A and B are shown apart, each in its own frame.
Chain A
Amino acid sequence: MKAHATVGNAEPNYARLRYVTENFQSLQGLTWVAFGSAFFLSSIEDVVGQALPFWLLLVPMVLIFAAVRYVPKYYESRFGSVEPRSPSNKHAVIFLLVLLALALFGRPLGRYLDSVIPQGINQIHLLISDLDHRTNLLPVIFWTALLCAMVLRQSRFASRLDIPFGLACLLFWAFALVFYPLRHPDVTKLTFWKVLNAGWFGISMIVTGLYDHLTLVALLPMRVRERDNE
């Protein structure tokens, strides 16, 4: 994230230029922050146990409106705009091949998985529904999948940036929602733990959005205001 050598000062970092241009749309994280906040507020209502005040119910709507109306304008005025490349033919060919493979082998594969998956599901279900622990495995599964996607990315620059963040999030959710309640079953009585458990998806969206936004700000730092004679 620190690697932003400039054309004016030294040799530019071309990996940074490629990464920030290719991922400009997905790095506009404030949209995710707004949607995540709305999601979080709507998911913790059950945990609090009482009806939330009317104005607090309006907040998610205001956040979603801001995410749709003002956030894209902010990004365009601050960073400019980029039209992404249309997906290459390679992706279309891969998609068609996967579709063809599913059409041909989908049914036998489904029959095989039907006999294998329930055993795994039962184990997970036992852990989730255990009244003593109430372990929520979804955040760990979600972040493991996200971390795998980060590791498999072709860009070394992107992997170097994202993997530590993904790993930190995975470890946080694993300790907070899986290992800690397994060790201290009483944790299920804590409101903070309940809020984390119910609002993990909203919190994940907020954290990811903030991370993306800060990455964009670090990669495209604010230009020094030019003097009139420049």
Chain B
Amino acid sequence: MSNEHDAVSLPSRLIHEPARLAILTVLSSCASADFVFLQNATELTKGNLSVQLTNLEEAGLVNINKEIVERKMRTTVTLSKRGASEIEAYWKTMDAIRARMIGEENQFSRRKRAIPLRAKSIHS
């Protein structure tokens, strides 16, 4: 049993945080997204989103591009190659954990159902 537990690797702490995971989920569903869209989708404050993006950029998971469009600064964020592979690995890990939890739950409920049957057979 303990070997089975070891078989599923733990998800990355950097990605597992909900705000960063939300940002990476948005970016993995498109080629690039601008700051306004990310803010709308994740519903983070400007400051919080900015901090999370800086953390992700420092970790090499996203690329941030700033340009001036019609006299306004426009920030566009794309997922780096490393970011794309890490988010994919993250969801695979989570799926594996979920599948195992469902398996254990089924096993537990089967065992629970078996107990009264056995008790009944003893009485009869």
Residues of A at the B interface (CB closer than 8 Å) are 6-8, 11-12, 14, 17-18, 20-22, 24, 76-77, 79-86, 220-221, 223, 226, 230
Q: Which residues of A contact B35 (CB under 8 A)?
A: 80
User: Measured between alpha carbons, how far is A86 from B32 in the docked complex, in Å?
Assistant: 11
Instruction: Give which listed residue, B22, B26, B34, B45, contacts A81 with CB less than 8 A.
Output: B34
Tell me if B40 is interfacial: C-beta within 8 Å of chain A. yes
CA distance A230 to B51 in the complex (A): 13
**Residues in chain A near residue B80, CB distance under 8 A:** none
The residues of A that contact B76 with a CB separation of less than 8 Å are 83
**A24 to B36, alpha carbons, bound, how many Å?**
13
How far does the alpha carbon of A70 sit from the alpha carbon of B37 in the complex, in Å?
18
| Count of CB-CB pairs between chains A and B under 8 Å | 84
Kindly identify which residue among A6, A11, A81, A230 contacts B43, using a CB–CB cutoff of 8 Å: A6
B29-A85 in contact (CB<8A): yes
Nearest B-chain residue to A85, judged by Cβ: B31
Residues of A within 8 A of B36 (CB): 76-77, 79-81
| Pair A14/B41 contact, Cβ less than 8 Å | no
Q: Which of B26, B30, B41, B45 contacts A226 (CB 8 A)?
A: B45
Closest 10 CB pairs of A and B: A80-B37, A80-B36, A21-B29, A6-B43, A83-B31, A83-B32, A12-B22, A220-B40, A17-B25, A18-B29
Q: Shortest distance in angstroms between B45's beta carbon and chain A's nearest beta carbon?
A: 5
Given A21-B41, A82-B32, list of 16 further CB < 8 A pairs?
A11-B18, A14-B21, A14-B22, A79-B37, A80-B34, A80-B39, A81-B33, A81-B36, A82-B30, A82-B33, A83-B76, A85-B31, A220-B41, A221-B43, A230-B46, A230-B47
Q: How far is the CA of A82 from the CA of B22 in the complex (A)?
A: 15
Write 15 A-B pairs (CB below 8 A) sorted by A numbering: A6-B43, A7-B44, A8-B44, A12-B22, A17-B26, A21-B25, A21-B33, A21-B41, A76-B36, A80-B38, A82-B32, A84-B30, A221-B43, A223-B40, A226-B46
Q: How far is the CA of A17 from the CA of B40 in the complex (A)?
A: 10
The reply on B42 being an interface residue by CB < 8 A is: yes
Q: How far is the CA of A7 from the CA of B52 in the complex (A)?
A: 12
State in angstroms the CA–CA spacing of A12 and B40 once bound together: 13
Chain A residues near B43 (CB, 8 Å)?
6-8, 221, 223
Q: A7-B42, A80-B40, A220-B40 are in contact. Are A12 and B21 (CB under 8 A)?
A: yes
| Nearest opposing residue in chain B for A23, CB measure | B29
A7-B43, A17-B26, A17-B29 known; A81+B21 contact, CB < 8 A: no
**Distance (whole angstroms) from the CB of A90 to the closest CB of chain B:** 16
Most buried by A among B25, B29, B38, B46: B29
Contact at B40–A85, with CB atoms within 8 Å? no
B19 CB–A CB distance under 8 Å: yes
| A230 cross-chain contacts in B, Cβ below 8 A | 45-47
Task: Name the A residues within 8 Å of B25 (CB-CB).
Answer: 12, 14, 17-18, 21
Known A-B contacts A7-B22, A14-B22, A17-B22; A83 and B40 likewise in contact (beta carbons under 8 Å): no
